[in-house]
Homo-oligomer: A and B are copies of this chain.
Amino acid sequence: MPTLLLDRKSVKTLMTMADVISVVEEAFRMCGEGKGKMPAKVYLSVERGDFRAMPAALPGCAGMKWVNVHPGNPSLGLPSVMAVLIYSDPETGYPLAIMDATEITAYRTGAAAAIASKYLARRSPHTMGVIGAGYQAYTQILAHAELFNPISINAFDISKAAVGRLGRSLPQLSVKSCSVQEAAASDIVCTLTPSRSPVVKREWIMPGTHINAVGADAPGKQELEPSILKEAIVVVDDLTQASHSGEINVPIEKGLYSTSEVYGTLVEVIVGKKKGRTDSRAITVFDSTGIAVEDIAVAKLLFEKAQQAGGYPSIDLVG
Interface residues of A (CB under 8 A from B): 3, 5, 7-8, 37, 39-40, 42-49, 51, 53, 55-57, 62, 64, 66, 68-70, 73, 76, 78, 81-84, 86, 88, 90-95, 98-100, 102, 313, 315-319
Closest to A49 in B: B93
* Contact between chains at A5 and B317 (CB < 8 Å): yes
* Contact between chains at A88 and B51 (CB < 8 Å): yes
* Contact between chains at A100 and B318 (CB < 8 Å): yes
Identical copies in the complex: 2
Query: Which residues of chain B come closer than 8 Å to A315, judged between CB atoms?
Result: 5, 7, 313
Query: Which residues of chain B come closer than 8 Å to A313, judged between CB atoms?
Result: 315
Once bound together, how far apart are the Cα atoms of A53 and B43, in whole Å?
11
Chain A to chain B: the 4 pairs with minimum beta-carbon distance, closest first: A68-B93, A53-B53, A44-B55, A46-B90
Once bound together, how far apart are the Cα atoms of A92 and B68, in whole Å?
8
* Contact between chains at A93 and B318 (CB < 8 Å): no
* Contact between chains at A86 and B66 (CB < 8 Å): yes
* Contact between chains at A317 and B51 (CB < 8 Å): no
* Contact between chains at A86 and B86 (CB < 8 Å): yes
Once bound together, how far apart are the Cα atoms of A34 and B66, in whole Å?
24
Closest to A1 in B: B78
* Contact between chains at A55 and B42 (CB < 8 Å): yes
Query: Which residues of chain B come closer than 8 Å to A70, judged between CB atoms?
Result: 91-93
Query: Which residues of chain B come closer than 8 Å to A100, judged between CB atoms?
Result: 317-318
Once bound together, how far apart are the Cα atoms of A265 and B51, in whole Å?
26
* Contact between chains at A82 and B76 (CB < 8 Å): no
8 A-B pairs (CB sep. < 8 Å): A7-B319, A44-B64, A46-B57, A46-B62, A51-B55, A51-B62, A51-B93, A82-B318
Query: Which residues of chain B come closer than 8 Å to A45, judged between CB atoms?
Result: 37
* Contact between chains at A69 and B93 (CB < 8 Å): yes
Q: A42-B42, A43-B39, A55-B42 are known contacts. Are A317 and B7 too (CB-CB below 8 A)? A: yes
Once bound together, how far apart are the Cα atoms of A48 and B83, in whole Å?
27
Once bound together, how far apart are the Cα atoms of A194 and B7, in whole Å?
38
- Across the interface, A55 reaches (CB within 8 A) one of B37, B53, B92, namely B53
Once bound together, how far apart are the Cα atoms of A95 and B8, in whole Å?
13
| 18 extra interface residue pairs, beta carbon distance < 8 Å, beyond A46-B90, A66-B88, A68-B93 | A5-B317, A7-B316, A8-B319, A44-B62, A46-B57, A47-B90, A48-B91, A51-B55, A51-B62, A53-B64, A64-B66, A68-B94, A70-B91, A78-B94, A83-B318, A84-B98, A84-B317, A99-B317
Query: Which residues of chain B come closer than 8 Å to A86, judged between CB atoms?
Result: 66, 84, 86
